[in-house]
Amino acid sequence: MILVLVIVCILSTIISSSPSEVTNSQQFPKAIIIGVKKCGTRALLKFLSVHPAIAASSQEVHFFDTPKNFRLGSDWYRNQMPIATTNQYVTIEKTPHYFIDRHTPKRLAHLLPDVKLILILRDPVIRAISDYVQIKSRHEYYPTFDEFISMKNFTRWTPIKIGCYAIYLRRWLKYFPLERIHFVDGENLIQRPWEELQHVQKFLNISNDIRQENFYFNSNKRGFPCIKQPNGCLGSSKGRQHPFISDITRAKLKNLYSTCNRQFKQLAQINFPWL
């Protein structure tokens, strides 16, 4: 009699639970935002996370670009993914450092040969300034941006080097076909995020559930877009005021990036307005 009661209780629990609650699981990502740092990767992931088909990781996993993590193996990586319901058939993570890491393309292609890659980019001059602002916020005393650019070997400075996107894209194209990489215009994501989200949703082969009516603009964040949900705006670190940059510095960087932009445009076969 006791055994019968136990069985009845178990069956009642299963029946009363929704299918998604019964079949929750952690899956390898079907898509990864691989970069670029300071181009809007966190905003893009936040916006995508409201889609009912997407299970988005809440942290940067750094599996493929960090030796100690990579040695933990594929099971460890899968266990870092969010628990997805049956309706969330697209698990996605973002680690911006993947894009510039030498080892990540080969490692990623070996483990997840069919994964879709998302790459968001901004005008490299603006990206470099944004990177500088973040670094400077961690130091009490720090040289000005103009002072860095006036240095002899300023092109070796990481915030500047990252902006030559073509260098890194060539590595990825050795392991992934171009049609497996979707390019997001980070400048347009700030101005008209719903347009970029429409393209991403199509790339991921999911319904177009994230539309213009899902967004509003926050005047306290330099007009950055927010998604209509609890905590729908990015944190306090976003929207920092950029410093004054001299015309000489801007011209120097524009000249530096002109060749890189032209090469990237040809490799990626895209035509963003700022390229």
107 is in an annotated binding site: no
Amino acid at 120: I
240 is in an annotated binding site: yes
- DSSP character string of 148-182: HHTSTTGGGSHHHHTT-HHHHHHHHHTTS-GGGEE
Measured in whole angstroms, how far is the alpha carbon of residue 213 from the centre of its chain? 22
259-to-121, 166, 178 alpha-carbon distances in Å: 16, 9, 21
41 is in an annotated binding site: yes
Alpha-carbon gap, residue 95 to 45, rounded angstroms: 10
137 is in an annotated binding site: no
127 is in an annotated binding site: no
241 is in an annotated binding site: yes
130 is in an annotated binding site: yes
185 neighbors 268 (Cβ within 8 angstroms): no
Q: Give catalytic residue positions.
A: 38
239 is in an annotated binding site: yes
Alpha-carbon gap, residue 171 to 173, rounded angstroms: 6
Binding site membership for 3'-phosphoadenylyl sulfate: which residues? 38-42, 122, 130, 238-242
Report the binding-site residues.
38-42, 122, 130, 238-242
